[in-house]
Amino acid sequence: MSNRIVIENCAVATVDADDTEYASGHVVVAGKLIESVGAGPAPAGLENVTRRIDGTGHLVTPGLVNTHHHFYQWITRGLAQDSNLFNWLVELYPTWARIDEEMVYAAASGSLGMMARGGVTTAMDHHYVFPKGAGDLLGAEIRAAAELGVRFTAARGSMDRGKSDGGLPPDFAVETTEGALLATEQAIDTHHDASFGSMLHIAAAPCSPFSVSTDLLREAAVLARRKGVRLHTHGSETVEEEKFCHELFGMGPTDYFESTGWLGDDVWMAHCVHMNDSDIAAFARTGTGVAHCPSSNARLAAGIARVPDMLAAGVPVGLGVDGTASNESGELHTELRNALLINRLGGGEKALNARQALRLGTYGGARVLGRTAEIGSLEAGKLADLVLWKLDGIGHASIADPVAALVLGAAAPVTLSLVNGVPVVENSRLTRADEDAIARLTKSQAQRLARIAGLA
């Protein structure tokens, strides 16, 4: 019989289909699964209770799900501070082209560690820079996620459209089409685990319309469907991208994606800022998902995604930190607030409420990653990925509503975060890694990269 963890006397936001909440309730975890969730104390007479937690002053929610990131950027933060996307990319590509396995491992540890401390239980990464001879970069990320105990989707990215083919990245930063496809297939064969409760998914993820050939997009979609993995890319991020697509392909990004097999319920795209009504309708009709990245969109002045319109149309939407060269904080719990604030700036006071923001960061993320049967809400039978937020401290104690305290208040401390029923954070500290050691490692690798790239 499985060991049990009992959490009680806390507010509970289940984020189930009815948004069920309990002002004072309980969650019982048995092994790696949620056994029961409900009002009041846990049922009496439970056996094998190895830990009983008094959650007074806390809110328990599903673990947060991050749906877009570029871990390697953790060691190129604070650069190109005042640029739009294309200028920012052109400035950073030459530095990124010098990364290696050691640097990516350090950056992944920093990115994952920071997110985990802030309640992320499922992370994803979109890695698309693979310099020749740089080592096993995807493997380095996978190792870092396994060490920290975070559930992970590693999206094997790629770029094959260099400047000489009309693309944005310099030729030295891209792979061949065949090389990218082969490496993506190898990553799937080596790492993808489709089982219930899997700690590791692989996705196929050519980078963007302006850095990837039409052939690579088409072939990656065929490959992903043959292998049963999901597809991820950047889409409709900026007006410059839209212009690029019209000039090169004679159509906007969404029509271009549709023409290459890239709309479907196995696809999710980051940003989707510049979407017209027919683009949103196409995403809704096909079940194509969106990773909304409000801080990055603001940092690069990309614009405001039409999240309320997407939700009204039935488009699956999750939240993303995006790479930390365009969102230096690298935290997802603060993206709940930023999503709400930015969408209200764009669409008025009813555009998004606190519960919708929490849903984007939990169930919405699980939906775009194709994992709602396993994670995203607190329901019996789902995996025990949950977060116990401390809301009785100076920052939150006087806020009337616990969900508003989490979403609108300061970044809330995490008393306990479980993945598969295993603690990954206790009292705001990582349980399985030394945060100070990660900080030192990321600083030294950032300095090493700056030296190699001629920045320092």
The nearest distance, CB 191 to Zn ion, in angstroms, is 21
* Of 156-164, 262-270, 379-387, 415-423: span binding Zn ion (CB under 5 A): 262-270
Nearer to Zn ion, 220 or 270 (CB): 270
Element (H, E) at 187: helix 177-191
Cα dist. 406→69, 330, 355, 387, 389 in Å? 22, 17, 10, 11, 8
The nearest distance, CB 229 to Zn ion, in angstroms, is 19
Q: Are 214 and 166 in contact (CB under 8 A)?
A: no
Closest residue to Zn ion using C-beta atoms:
322
* Of 167-175, 189-197, 205-213, 315-323: span binding Zn ion (CB under 5 A): 315-323
The nearest distance, CB 64 to Zn ion, in angstroms, is 18
* Residue 20 amino acid letter: T
Q: Are 283 and 310 in contact (CB under 8 A)?
A: yes
| DSSP E strands, 159-306 | 200-206, 230-235, 267-271, 289-292
Number of residues interacting with Zn ion: please give it, by CB under 5 A: 2
322 binds Zn ion (CB under 5 A): yes
The nearest distance, CB 300 to Zn ion, in angstroms, is 10
Nearer to Zn ion, 58 or 234 (CB): 234
* Residue 95 amino acid letter: T
* Of 4-12, 216-224, 320-328, 341-349: span binding Zn ion (CB under 5 A): 320-328
125 binds Zn ion (CB under 5 A): no
The nearest distance, CB 377 to Zn ion, in angstroms, is 26
Q: Print the binding letters for residues 264-283 with Zn ion: x by CB under 5 A, - otherwise.
A: ------x-------------
Q: What is the CA radius of gyration of the chain?
A: 21
| 57: exposed, middle or buried (Cβ count in 10 Å: 0-12, 13-18, 19+) | middle
The nearest distance, CB 193 to Zn ion, in angstroms, is 25
Cα dist. 228→68, 195, 344 in Å? 20, 12, 37
Show contacts with Zn ion in window 208-227 (CB under 5 A): none
Nearer to Zn ion, 103 or 291 (CB): 291
Residue 203: other Cβ atoms inside 10 A: 28
The nearest distance, CB 271 to Zn ion, in angstroms, is 7
Residues that bind Zn ion (CB under 5 A): 270, 322
